[in-house]
Amino acid sequence: MRIGIGYDIHRFDGKRPLKLGGVTIPHARGLAGHSDADVLLHALADALFGALGEPDLGEQFPPSDPRWRNADSRTFIKTACAAMRRRGLAVGNVDTTVIADAPKLTGYKRRMSRAISALLGVAPDQVSVKGKTTEGLAPGKAGIAAHAVVLLTAAQGSRLKARGRSRGR
């Protein structure tokens, strides 16, 4: 098993749509960032890369690179998942917390967890998205932050292969 932790924070930027977990959420302000600024997917990508012992999101997709300008952050997750599969690993479960005083996320948590589970190719009950406010304290007023923890386990096929090898010895 491998475990990974990820964190991210983005400032509000009025000019962009708000993306969280790959879901567009109606709100007066989106988030500033080089890519689509999906703070939840960024935290998740770093948790996945961390679990794999790979360089962090900023190192793999530097904001200085014009290729990632307005990039769909689901690309980062797909890259991490491809690396995970190459290592014979699969997602056990994902737990996340989004910290935002606004908008209210209650109506969107299930939609976000479903979108993330589809992206990872796992069941919705393997992905938790929890909402939290800052009780009006910074940085909740100025932007949105996210934490993510991921547990990776041996993929079905690689586990069978490993068992087969040990039986053969």
The residues binding Mg ion (CB under 5 A) are: 8, 42
Cβ pair 47, 149 in contact under 8 A: yes
CB of 43 to Mg ion, least distance (A): 8
Specify the residue, 12 or 89, whose C-beta has the smaller distance to Mg ion. 12
Tracing tokens 């009950």 back to the chain, one arrives at 125
Specify the residue, 79 or 158, whose C-beta has the smaller distance to Mg ion. 79
Specify the residue, 33 or 89, whose C-beta has the smaller distance to Mg ion. 33
CB of 10 to Mg ion, least distance (A): 6
Specify the residue, 62 or 107, whose C-beta has the smaller distance to Mg ion. 62
CB of 153 to Mg ion, least distance (A): 27
Specify the residue, 19 or 42, whose C-beta has the smaller distance to Mg ion. 42
HSE of 153, CA atoms in CB hemisphere, 13 A: 10
Report how far apart the first and last C-alpha atoms of the chain are (Å, whole number): 23
For Mg ion, which residue has the nearest CB?
42
CB of 55 to Mg ion, least distance (A): 15
CB of 102 to Mg ion, least distance (A): 19
